[in-house]
Amino acid sequence: MMKTMRTQVGIVGAGPAGLLLAHLLHLRGIESVVLEARSREYVENRQRAGVLEQGTADLLVETGLGERMLRQGLVHDGVMLRFAGRTHRIDFQRLAGAGVRIYGQHEVVRDLIAARRAYEGPLCFEVDGVRLEGITSANPTIHFRHEGAEVELACELVAGCDGFHGVCRPSIPSDEIRFYEREFPFAWLGILAEAPPSSSELIYAHHERGFALLSMRSPTISRLYLQCAPNEDLAAWSDDRIWSELTTRLATRDGFVLRDGPILQKGVTPMRAFVAEPMRWGRLFLAGDAAHIVPPTGAKGMNLAVADVRWLAEAMGAFFHQRDETLLEQYSDKCIRRVWKVERFSSWMTSMLHRITGQSEFEYRIQLAELDYVTSSEAARKTLAENYVGLPLYEALP
């Protein structure tokens, strides 16, 4: 038996993009239904990025989602670049007049789910068989299975927030969309450790053995990464080997001490850059990882998704309240302009900090010169700072 549902906006994906869009629409009095293939437990516990741009943090507070973030998140007014055994601080507040906040993506998702549950917004976990129909018509539908029933969700607009491997982007005909992508020849071996952070701010380390990153999730939990091969065998990396390699790559001439502890999680993250254009087809609008992937070096993935849905919520508000499609028509162009700026910054950070397989001594020395320039030039430091804390959200189209 087919079950029929109706809403204004069908949202596929309950990650930060989908859930935040649903929340922003709710604040505008617009109904939505959120569909998610995974379980609630999985979504609330998957470890992802943890750096929030100033604008992202401000939005969470403005929309009533910031209570836990303000209480638990760590405010960072700068970041450390480390190379040749020396550490150089980039002062965000002085250079860009803003900072960032360390607060795990899974914590943001928990806050969003709690808010949606509080106002009883429809949120369906563990759905499968999702299929989009009539996307170029005025009445698109989403078909799926949930709790043993076949469901048809009728809506006016569809938001594809279901990630890189989701079903929404492949629903667009191949001759209506273009892909731009780059696979980097390395990956990150990441760990979550029960260890107090060894620095009050993030440390990005360039080392002849490869890149390393010291980050954190709380005053007692550290998040660290090592550059590794894309096909790295985790079984070959004992806890002792991981800590030894991190100690080597993060070492300084003045005796930096890395605090270690039990490793709670470990995994390998591939490095990829990807952009799909346009981000709209008919009544389907892509947002977040469904439309673009950035290498994690610039800490931009979730922040870019937030920028997408801020624009999308505004455009959908104009559509439903004034029946004005102007902002919907501009959505892809406005997003893509920001996407490519963020791709540029993230790729630049990645190329500057990682050792490349087969890299010549000349290329290695160029990397060191780039780092020397970035950390010694006021203009270069300011460029890094303003990109890291977040570019302005609203810019006029050229």
Pairing of strands 32-35, 123-124: parallel
pLDDT of 395: 57
The catalytically annotated residue of 103, 146, 197, 204 is 204
**What is the set of domains in the chain, with CATH numbers?**
2-50+104-177+278-357 (3.50.50.60), 181-271 (3.30.9.10)
Q: DSSP labels for 19-38?
A: HHHHHHHHHTT--EEEE-SS
The catalytically annotated residue of 106, 146, 292, 300 is 300
44's tokens:
């609330």
The catalytically annotated residue of 106, 206, 296, 334 is 296
Helix (H, G, I), strand (E, B) or coil at 275: strand
Mean pLDDT, contiguous 10-residue spans, the chain (398 residues): 91 97 98 97 85 95 96 96 97 97 95 96 96 96 95 98 97 97 96 96 96 94 96 95 98 95 94 97 98 95 96 98 97 96 97 92 95 97 97 62
Q: Which residues contact 273 (CB under 8 A, 6 or more apart)?
A: 181, 182, 184, 293, 294, 295, 343, 346, 347
Whole-prediction pTM value?
0.95
- 200: Cα separation from own chain's centroid: 22
pLDDT of 63: 97
pLDDT of 129: 96
The catalytically annotated residue of 23, 76, 106, 206 is 76
Q: How far is CA 62 from CA 55, 67, 76, 287, 354, in A?
A: 10, 10, 20, 21, 37
State how far the Cα of 262 lies from the Cα of 270, in Å rounded to an integer: 24
Helical pair 378-389 and 326-353, crossing angle rounded to 10 deg: 130
Active site residue 76: yes
Active site residue 296: yes
Helix (H, G, I), strand (E, B) or coil at 351: helix
State how far the Cα of 388 lies from the Cα of 382, in Å rounded to an integer: 10
Alpha-helical segments (H) within 154-211: none
| Residue bearing tokens 């989009």 | 132
| CA atoms within a 13 Å half-sphere pointing along the CA-CB vector of 3 | 9
pLDDT of 231: 93
Contact present, 347 and 332 (Cβ < 8 Å)? no
| Residue bearing tokens 């390395």 | 186
**Phi and psi (nearest 5°) for 195?**
-155, 135
Q: How far is CA 212 from CA 202, 247, 321, in A?
A: 11, 10, 49
Active site residue 300: yes
Active site residue 266: no
pLDDT of 358: 86
pLDDT of 48: 75
pLDDT of 397: 45
